[in-house]
A and B are shown apart, each in its own frame.
Chain A
Amino acid sequence: KNQVEQSPQSLIILEGKNCTLQCNYTVSPFSNLRWYKQDTGRGPVSLTIMTFSENTKSNGRYTATLDADTKQSSLHITASQLSDSASYICVVSETGGFKTIFGAGTRLFVKA
């Protein structure tokens, strides 16, 4: 069964600190993996997309990694800000890009 598992379920860090969120998946055949950010009361917004051949991709203070062999991805947030407080959702698409599997998300709380 295609699954996406994220850890930790929630995380509290101090402003300015770094953190790393994990995503393991069993989706096959793999097309791409996206990290979405969902602010409270809003719809999710895409941060990064990783395809099979990509290992690392950055978007500002966000850096995503992908190991297609072990089927693992991580999202690293550098120098966290209060506005980073949100849910981060790992989403994996099957080949063709139409079947999409969502992880349960990691809730990040950044405190001053």
Chain B
Amino acid sequence: GAGVSQSPSNKVTEKGKDVELRCDPISGHTALYWYRQSLGQGLEFLIYFQGNSAPDKSGLPSDRFSAERTGGSVSTLTIQRTQQEDSAVYLCASRTLATGTGELFFGEGSRLTVL
């Protein structure tokens, strides 16, 4: 696609429910990142996928968070048993391996509100 697409743009859920957030990166981009941004705060790295390599999961805050990337394209971030502190904007970004300049192209984010 023309840009990084994320869905849903907004999600309101009850505490304890599971949520899935989807990211569709730019076609041909091999690297995909998930970040979390709480209100008024900076970006917090969650997880990174690069081609067929094992993902870098070092930023996931707890085992309630997981992500997968199927077929080297679309990625899903899953949060199980959501807590109120999970409320944030979840941003996905992708970039191509070929450029070497490292520019990240971001989606518009998925705003999660846990009641």
Q: Which residues does A use to contact B, with CB under 8 Å? A: 31-32, 34, 36, 41-46, 49, 89, 91, 93, 97-98, 100, 102-105, 107
Contacts and interface: CB of A to CB of B under 8 A. Distances in A.
Interface of B: 4, 31, 33, 35, 40-43, 45, 48, 50, 91, 93, 99-104, 106-109
B104 A49 contact: no
Nearest to B53: A98
A103 B42 contact: yes
A93 to B, nearest CB: 4
A43 B23 CA distance: 13
Q: Is the contact region of chain A dominated by helix, strand, or loop, or is it mixed? A: strand
A32 B102 contact: yes
16 contacts: A32-B101, A32-B102, A42-B109, A43-B4, A43-B107, A43-B108, A44-B43, A44-B91, A44-B104, A46-B104, A49-B101, A49-B102, A93-B102, A98-B31, A102-B42, A107-B40
